Each structure stands twice: as structure tokens, then as C-alpha cells.
Amino acid sequence: MARVSYIDLRGFIDQVDRLRALRHIDGADPYLEIGGITEVAAALPDCPALLFDRIKGYPKGLRVFTNATTNVQRAALALGIDPTLGPLDALKAWMEVRASLEFRKPVQVDHAYFLENSDVGDAVDLSKFPVPHWHLKDGGPYIGSGSLVIIRDPDVGWINASIYRVQVHARNKVTIQFDHQGRHGAIIAKKYWEQGKRCPVAVINGEDPALFIAGFEYLPEGPVGVWILQAPSKARRWRFIPDWTADPGAY
């Protein structure tokens, strides 16, 4: 079975492009047009992934990538499975991979590349990003329609990572849509609030697509969600940098 390896989202996009499954779109409007084009493309037989650039009102290079794993080929690619397999064979291959996964402790590091471009406090300005207003009846622009929201249980310390929508309300204010009270994110957040504490969160956009898929898994409490991270290459482990900021700015 051929297996494809990639390092990050950029590498994944390159692999999708090599499979001729990527469409480049320039000049789209973040208000409804990006969302509309994305939905139309998702309904096409080939269901291409889309890479938007030169977005209206923003400079070249501030890009939006959509339909990342909306078909079998790209979901297989994300999970390190041969992307040429048909749906049934891809499912069988994933079940074999999943059965062999073993938990690996994350590796602590002293440096993270995302810290090389950081804004803190009053310098935070989300308006510099082309955040789409996806649907007509959305309450506003959503920077997170596939955001990985990471949150630690205050009682036992286990870390949950799941997909939630994240809406931008102001240059430095967002809300996370914890609207399903039975999901771990809402349960954990409620624990903080009942203790009179702010709930610290980390919101990741542009994550490894394997993380996006893992974030939708319905799993029990504990670290088992990290297993899926091992799927594509997976000599590497999940790396983390502890206490990188004293003020998470989360509520």
C-alpha cells in the first residue's frame, strides 16, 4: 500500500496540487462569495479543494484553503493512506492503520515557529485576516469553521482538542460556539465558569488535516485523540511548548 507523507498544511496542499485536485481562485470576496464558491465546489463530482488568494481587500499571500478533506481521496491523504484507493478499500486501509495505533506521549520543545510572528495585547488585530462571512444568515464572519480548539480539564488535567466554530466580533474578540452541552469542550468550559475562573483555550487555524479529522472523532475522556496524529508519517510526534504565554486572553 502506497503511503504519502507530509509535514504540515502547506505540504498537504502541495500533495493535493500534485493529485490535480486543487483549484486556485483569485479575487473572491470574503463576504458570502468564498462560502458560496466552496459549497458549489463541494457538490461537484470531483469535489475539488480550493485555495483562495488575492482576496478582495487583502494583499496576496493571505490565503483561505477550503474543502480540505471533503472527499475520500483527500481524507485518505490526510491519514497517510494511499489516495488512489476507492472508498471501500480506503476505509479498510484506515481500519487496519487505526487498529495498529499506539499512544505516544507528546514531546516538549523550547521553540515553536508560530511564535516568530506574534501579536500580543493591543497589537492583536484580526481584521488584517480575510475572515469569510460564509453564509447569509451567519451572525458575522467566522475565522474558525474548522478550528481546532484545545482546552484542559481543570479537575484532572487531560487535554481535549475538538472542532468548533469561532466567530470574530471585533479586532481582538472572538467567541467559540460551545452550543452542544454534551461535548467535552462545553463540559470543560462549564467547570471553569462554575469555579468562577476564566477558561483558557488555544484556537488553531491551519492545522494538520489529520488533526481536523481527529477533532471530529467521538472519543472518551483522555489522550486517545492523539493517536490519529500518528497516521501520515508518523515517525514524528505531537510537539508542545509549555506556558508560552502568561495571559491566554481567553474567557
CA distance 219 to 227: 11
CA distance 237 to 166: 27
CA distance 21 to 61: 20
| pLDDT given for residue 53 in this prediction | 98
Distance from the Cα of residue 208 to its chain's centroid = 7
CA distance 67 to 61: 19
User: Model confidence over 161-186: pLDDT tens digits?
Assistant: 888 999 999 999 999 998 778 888 89
Cβ within 8 Å of residue 99, ≥6 positions away: none
User: Model confidence over 21-66: pLDDT tens digits?
Assistant: 999 999 999 999 999 999 999 999 999 999 999 999 999 999 999 9
| pLDDT given for residue 60 in this prediction | 96
User: Model confidence over 117-162: pLDDT tens digits?
Assistant: 888 889 999 999 999 999 999 999 999 888 889 899 999 888 888 8
Confidence of residue 231 (pLDDT cuts 50, 70, 90): very low
Cβ-contact 94, 77 below 8 angstroms: no
More confident residue, 208 or 233: 208
Q: In angstroms, how far is the first alpha carbon of the chain from the final one?
A: 46
